[in-house]
Amino acid sequence: MEREQAQQKAAERAGARVLVVEDDPNMAMIIKFNLEAAGHKIDIARDGVEALRRMWDERPDLVILDIMMPRMDGWEVLETVRNDASLRDLPIIILTNKREEESIARGWSGGADCYLTKPFEMADLVLVAERILKAASEQT
């Protein structure tokens, strides 16, 4: 019985729409491949401007956000999302090379749901994404 309930809950979470905001095409494809293998639908945005447009148009369930990008960086995206009434509750995982304490503190204080640094273990990213999606689904 417990196994069936666990499988049902996993099926309910599977298929979440995840927006990966990453300007490195190789990194974006690796993340996409692994999250698709976990059953999710993945869109990719190459910069902050494209990311915001997709968030407003398509409303993903989760955003994985790089910081250092062209046109509009991840800090500006995070601030815009958290100040927009239609997006402010959107879960965001920051995934970046920025390891400095100041950057980590800025991410958390800016409203990130998680702050991960590169290099990282893909299994950790998938696990964190699953936990955040589960928590978000339980709040609705």
Residues in the chain with pLDDT values less than 50: 1, 3, 5-8, 11, 13
**pLDDT score, position 2:** 52
Pick the CATH number of 2-139 from 3.90.1150.10, 1.10.10.1110, 3.40.50.2300, 3.20.20.80: 3.40.50.2300
Strand order of the sheet with strand 92-96? 41-45, 17-21, 62-65, 92-96, 114-117
Distance from C-alpha of 130 to C-alpha of 60, rounded to nearest angstrom: 14
**pLDDT score, position 6:** 44
**pLDDT score, position 139:** 81
Cα angle value 97/100/101 (rounded, 5°) = 135
**pLDDT score, position 5:** 47
Q: Is 92:81 a contact under the CB 8 Å cutoff? A: yes
**pLDDT score, position 14:** 54
